[in-house]
Amino acid sequence: MGQLVFQATAGGQVALVGPNPSASFSLNVPAVSGTLVTTGDTGTVTNTMLASNAYTAPGTIGSGTANSGAFTSLSATSFTNTGTDTATKFIPTGSSVTGNGLYLPATNSLGLSTNGTNALYIDASQNVGIGTSSPATKLDVVGTIRASQSLAFGTNGTSGVGTIYSDSNWGCLITAKQASPALADFMWQNGSSVERMRIDTSGNLLVGCTANTNSGGFILYKDYDAVNSSSLDIGHITGSASGNRYIRFQYAGSTIGSITQTGTTAVLYNTTSDYRLKENVKPIQNALATIEALNPVSFTWVDGRPDDGFIAHEIQAIIPNCVTGEKDAVNEDGTPKYQQMDNSGVIPFLVKAIQELNAKVDAQAAEIIALQTKVGT
């Protein structure tokens, strides 16, 4: 069969009308090797007229597979879906967001709006913005990103270098699988890309240093010197001066104790003892009697270790400040809440007791000299 031509004369129109003119009319165009073209269009072509749902250019109707086409060029004032979702808008370049759907906010860019507000934006450089129409990177999100499981970073599906950046005030986090250091789990850097903290593949936490060499940093790690043991190491570099802190203890912003370096071979365990913090200062009385009341003992711990010292509740009755906790106390679950003590609280009484003994010795020596003098005369 040859061509089937519909032609109107004298400026008339050729109309294809369905059985019910008041209902929508579908024109189904089978796949052809050419293009079905309309010319001289001045009206609006709606997608309900197109079986392929493809609109490639004004005046040209594509013949692709039904419902799989795409809108590739828009020049009309708007393109409105005449189906059930009458709020969907396809808005040309330069127009503002007024509805839900795709829009063209600028040349070579694409946007997606919901409820009249920009939801997603792709600019001319293929930067994607969520919550922003000015993405500065490949993915720029204004708001919170949440992953129910994990985030993976890499190249071409492999585990390459991955980085999560925050702003310059907070620095960034570099994830695992990198060349140097090899397979580091996490590294935290400052805004100048200087490493500040790391968790290595052994689970060691390194702060201020890049390896567990105990030099110039803080390390929390499994102790390589002992089996089933872990330790906290704080290192000072060569040349560090005496008095530099290893640990500082504070209360309400004020230092109340510290552990500091002394020389290159020892540490000092310090607690605040400034005279300006003390009132009602007076000599200890009857220190010798206090020392005599103490009960130094030898004992064996429940783990089998022999030791020497005091029983906490016994010394608590004599020098209360040496002991914390109460005798026979238990936790809510009934387990023992053990007492603890600081033996250094005994030292002032020991010193004063020695002074009292020395005074007695001096007094007795004076008496002996006096007797010798008396006998000699």
Q: Where are the domains of the chain?
A: 163-234, 245-277, 287-376
Give pLDDT, residue 111.
86
Both structure tokens of 171: 């620095």
260, HSE (Cβ side, Cα atoms, 13 Å): 14
Counting residues of the chain whose pLDDT is more than 70, the rounded percentage is: 57
Number of H helices, E strands in the chain: 3, 24
What is the dihedral sign for C-alpha 130, 132, 137, 141? Answer: negative
Select the highest-mean-pLDDT range: 3-12, 131-140, 344-353. 344-353
Give pLDDT, residue 159.
47
In tens, the pLDDT along 268-295 reads 999 999 999 999 999 999 999 999 999 9
Q: What are phi and psi of 102, to 5 degrees?
A: -80, 150
Give pLDDT, residue 227.
65
CB 188, CB 201: distance < 8 Å: no
- Grade residue 151 by pLDDT with cuts at 50, 70 and 90: low
Residue 322 has pLDDT above 90, yes or no: yes
Using CA atoms, how far apart are residues 274 and 257, in angstroms rounded to an integer? Answer: 11
Q: What is the DSSP letter of 359?
A: H
In tens, the pLDDT along 203-258 reads 777 777 777 665 667 777 666 566 667 777 888 888 889 999 999 999 998 999 99
Helix (H) or strand (E) holding 368: helix 347-376
Give pLDDT, residue 307.
96
Q: What is the mean pLDDT of residues 293-300?
A: 97
In tens, the pLDDT along 28-82 reads 555 555 555 555 554 444 444 443 344 443 434 444 333 333 344 444 344 444 4
- Grade residue 194 by pLDDT with cuts at 50, 70 and 90: confident
Query: Which one of 1.10.8.420, 1.10.10.60, 1.10.10.10, 3.10.310.10 gives the CATH number of domain 287-376?
Result: 1.10.10.10
- Of 250 and 164, the structure prediction assigns the larger pLDDT to 250
Give pLDDT, residue 283.
94
The reported pTM is 0.52
- Grade residue 83 by pLDDT with cuts at 50, 70 and 90: very low
Q: Which of 29-38, 70-79, 174-183, 316-325 shows the lowest mean pLDDT across its residues? A: 70-79
Using CA atoms, how far apart are residues 75 and 60, in angstroms rounded to an integer? Answer: 13
- Of 28 and 139, the structure prediction assigns the larger pLDDT to 139
Residue 263 has pLDDT above 60, yes or no: yes
Nearest to 36 by CA among 69, 63, 13, 16: 63
Please provide the average confidence, as pLDDT, over all residues in the chain.
Answer: 73
